[in-house]
Amino acid sequence: MKEKILVAYDGSELSKKAIQEALSKESVNNEAEVHVISVIKPTGPFTNAKMSESIGTELADQLKKDLEKIKEEFKTVHHPIVTEALVGKGENNPGIKICEYANKNDIDLIIIGNRGLGNVKKFFLGSVSNNVVQHAKCPVLVIK
């Protein structure tokens, strides 16, 4: 049976470790399909929805370049991986979009770093990883 693994990537060291973990699982189970997604949380003036959406789309385009590098780096050693940059909505936690993607794509396992690139380091799980742990309908592996 083909296992589907989702990695939440934000460019942080822990999200890079999460990708390595997914790819090591994929190498053990040759049937695994790895998805690497990034969720961009729009910034800027939320009073102007079009401007906020434009900023989010611009950030997504920049992150797509990182995702393409990841795809290229691993295509010779592993099965092709699926990459996608998604733009979150307004003030919603990006974890919501991660869980929506997981549900839509029948993901069997989500791998996420316990903290991303946020400025505030929390003592426990970061807000995104905590949101995913609380709302995912499949198992979640949190990388520390």
Half-sphere exposure (Cβ direction) of 132: Cα atoms closer than 13 Å: 30
Q: What is the pLDDT of residue 77?
A: 66
**Cα–Cα nearest to 9, from 56, 64, 91:** 64
pLDDT of residue 101: 96
In the prediction, which pLDDT does 41 show? 74
Q: Which residues of the chain have pLDDT under 70?
A: 1, 42-57, 60, 76-78, 90-91, 116-126
Q: How confident is the model at residue 44, as a pLDDT?
A: 54
CA distance 96 to 8: 12
* Biggest alpha carbon–alpha carbon distance for the chain: 48
pLDDT in the model for residue 48: 58
Q: How far is CA 28 from the centre of its chain?
A: 22
Q: What pLDDT score was predicted for residue 28?
A: 79
For the stretch 105-133, pLDDT in tens is 999 999 999 875 554 444 344 688 999 99
Residue 104: per-residue pLDDT: 97
Distance CA 140, CA 6 (A): 9
User: What pLDDT score was predicted for residue 121?
Assistant: 42
Global confidence as pTM: 0.83
In the prediction, which pLDDT does 51 show? 58
